[in-house]
Amino acid sequence: MLKTLKRFIRRLLWFLLIILTIGLLIPQNIQMPVTGATNADFNHQSFWYYPWGRSGTHKGVDIFAKKGTSIKSATTGLVLYSGQNDMGGNIALVLGPKWRFHYYAHMEDVEVKRFDWITKKDNIGTVGDSGNAKGKPAHLHYTIATFLPHFWRWDGSPQGWKKMFYMNPIPYIMN
Ligand SMILES: [Zn+2]
């Protein structure tokens, strides 16, 4: 009995390890999600900017564009959530390669549904000013978070330990 259980657990762990590894090996190939946006459309110092309202630090990048500009998926992935929250307004959360989460916020329209499988050719939605961007210039807030902690990125900045879970998206979206 115990032997069977041990064997089962061992097989389960191997299975999980293989799934995890496959995810890590998928290349990211991140693209600038806002159609037509250039390096001049975002502040290159805005990641982890402090102080930043209720969030404390800014855990992403804001890409400015005309309201209604289409937003393509930055990577291939699986939509985990699309809907609304207080701060983000109209949002979408996509699980992409390397077990990283891609978060799109302040959209005007959301054009994906939960469990949609999407590629970089698919529209996530359009740029807007929903959530706490109301009254500010329209922009996409874009965050990349990692499920596997990057311990070496922890530093002494405000909320510095959270850097284990947030990637700086700026190097990835430069064009
Ligand atoms: Zn933002």
CATH number of the domain bearing residue 130: 2.70.70.10
Band (160; pLDDT cuts 50, 70, 90): very high
- Residue range 60-100, pLDDT digits in tens: 999 999 999 999 999 999 999 999 999 999 999 999 999 99
Distance 51 CA to ligand 1 centre (A): 12
Task: Indicate whether 19 belongs to any domain.
Answer: no
Mean pLDDT of 156-170: 96
Task: Indicate whether 3 belongs to any domain.
Answer: no
- Residue range 100-127, pLDDT digits in tens: 999 999 999 999 999 999 999 999 999 9
Amino acid code (one letter) for 54? R
Q: Please give the tally of structural domains in the chain.
A: 1
Residue 2: predicted pLDDT: 87
> What residues contact residue 34 under an 8 Å CB cut-off, 6+ apart?
41, 63, 65, 69, 71, 127, 140
Distance 64 CA to ligand 1 centre (A): 10
Distance 141 CA to ligand 1 centre (A): 4
Distance 115 CA to ligand 1 centre (A): 25
Distance 104 CA to ligand 1 centre (A): 10
Question: Count of residues for the chain?
Answer: 175
Distance 97 CA to ligand 1 centre (A): 22
Residue 122: predicted pLDDT: 98
Domain range for 96: 29-173
Distance 140 CA to ligand 1 centre (A): 7
Count of alpha carbons within 13 angstroms of residue 49, beta-carbon side? 13
Residue 1: predicted pLDDT: 77
Look up the pTM and report it. 0.93
Distance 138 CA to ligand 1 centre (A): 11
Distance 147 CA to ligand 1 centre (A): 20
